Structure 1
Amino acid sequence: MSSVWQYLTLGLGRETFGIDIENVQEILDYRVPASLPQAPAFLVGMIDVRGQSYPVVDLRTKLGLPPEAPTPATRIILLNVPMAERILRVGFVADRVFEVTELDRAEMEAAPEVGGRWRSTYIAGIGRRGDAFVVVFDLARLMAGDEPALAGPAMAA
């Protein structure tokens, strides 16, 4: 059995991330989602795609990165994320989408353990595409919590 899998690669800032292509349903040009009152900061709203509602997650906010205004390259990636007892339909906002690429799972590295504030539980592995690193998401873990992947400093009481 081959350990080579296909991933959709996307960009957030200067970083490249990968999503297992089996979870990707569709890639859309960015559109402004309808807002949801009192939603967590990373949940920017809902969109309708052919009669199906999708909550839209800003990946930058979810990962603790500074927000950026959408550009002509900004995309919404529609995903089916397997959770414990159901499939979660969700849209991820990405700065840009690159391509579908093959990565060898047998050669993927685990997320580095550096301690401190960085939470790496959302990383399934780190692959290489030429000289570049591709951080592959563990979608179920990424969607399981409300906290960003990079924890901010503790607030003063």
Structure 2
Amino acid sequence: MAVAGITDTTQYLTFILNEETFAIDISKVREVLEYSTVTKVPQMPSYMDGVINIRGSVVPVVDLSMKFGMREFEKTVNTCVIIVEIMVGKSQTVLGAVVDSVQEVMELEADKIEPPPSIGTSLDTSFIKGMGKRDERFIIILNIDNVFSSQDMAFMRGGDMYEEDAVEPELARN
């Protein structure tokens, strides 16, 4: 049974996090960079690695394994930062995702992708677009737009909430 909304062959960038294979739709990927110096920002959540400068723009960098509650990994020569464009609400933003290593760009047909597993009502799996299968291994296909909440993005932007998420001051006092 194919995932609703995935009808054609789609290209995905695959990467490794804690020995598991993940994928992101290639249309969300801007570029892949070698992991280098990241400027630490005080009082950021544990999953925030810091910020980097990309052609004059400050880009927040997130450690995806920490965001997913996985164990922190040792940064190696294979560690990369995937620069992605995501939509949170009506706002598009750019951020970097630190991963153990980038593997390849691969094509997956819709019939090779199963819906995300149903793991009960207490676990939110909205960030998983589907489960691809290749050579008897599963590939967790991320819906990268759903990995980060509006609150995450507001925190990364210094506390500015997005328009549709802002609370009117008089409502906040009630």
TM-score, length basis structure 2: 0.78
CA contact (8 A) 2:18 2:71 kept: no
The unaligned stretches of length 5 or more in structure 2 are: 1-6, 153-174
Residue 104 (structure 2) aligned to one of 90, 99, 102 = 99
Structure 1's 146 and 137: CA in aligned 2 closer, same or farther, altered over 3 A? Answer: farther
The one-letter code of the counterpart of 2:81 is I
CA contact (8 A) 1:40 1:146 kept: no
CA contact (8 A) 1:45 1:57 kept: yes
| Corresponding residue pairs, total | 147
Give the C-alpha shift of residue 104 in structure 1: 1.6
Separation in structure 1 between the aligned mates of residue 128 and residue 44 of structure 2, nearest angstrom: 24
Separation in structure 1 between the aligned mates of residue 76 and residue 103 of structure 2, nearest angstrom: 15
Which residue of 2 is the match for residue 18 of structure 1?
23
TM-score, length basis structure 1: 0.86
Give the C-alpha shift of residue 105 in structure 1: 2.6
Q: Percent identity, aligned pairs only?
A: 33
Which range moves more in the overlay, 79-88 or 6-15? Answer: 79-88
Separation in structure 2 between the aligned mates of residue 55 and residue 105 of structure 1, nearest angstrom: 32
The one-letter code of the counterpart of 2:10 is W
The structure with the larger Rg is: 2
Which residue of 1 is the match for residue 93 of structure 2?
88
Residue 39 (structure 1) aligned to one of 31, 36, 44 = 44
Which residue of 1 is the match for residue 71 of structure 2?
66
Which residue of 2 is the match for residue 125 of structure 1?
130
- TM-align CA RMSD: 1.9
Residue 111 (structure 1) aligned to one of 113, 116, 119 = 116
Give the C-alpha shift of residue 119 in structure 1: 3.1
The one-letter code of the counterpart of 1:123 is I
Give the C-alpha shift of residue 110 in structure 1: 1.2
Query: Structure 1, residues 42-66: CA drift from partner, whole Å, max 9, x if none?
Result: 1110000111211000001001001
Structure 1's 146 and 32: CA in aligned 2 closer, same or farther, altered over 3 A? Answer: farther
Which residue of 2 is the match for residue 154 of structure 1?
none
Give the C-alpha shift of residue 117 in structure 1: 5.7
Name the SS of the counterpart of 2:114 in structure 1.
Answer: coil
More helix by share: 2
Name the SS of the counterpart of 2:66 in structure 1.
Answer: helix
Separation in structure 2 between the aligned mates of residue 29 and residue 113 of structure 1, nearest angstrom: 35
Give the C-alpha shift of residue 130 in structure 1: 2.2
Give the C-alpha shift of residue 145 in structure 1: 6.3
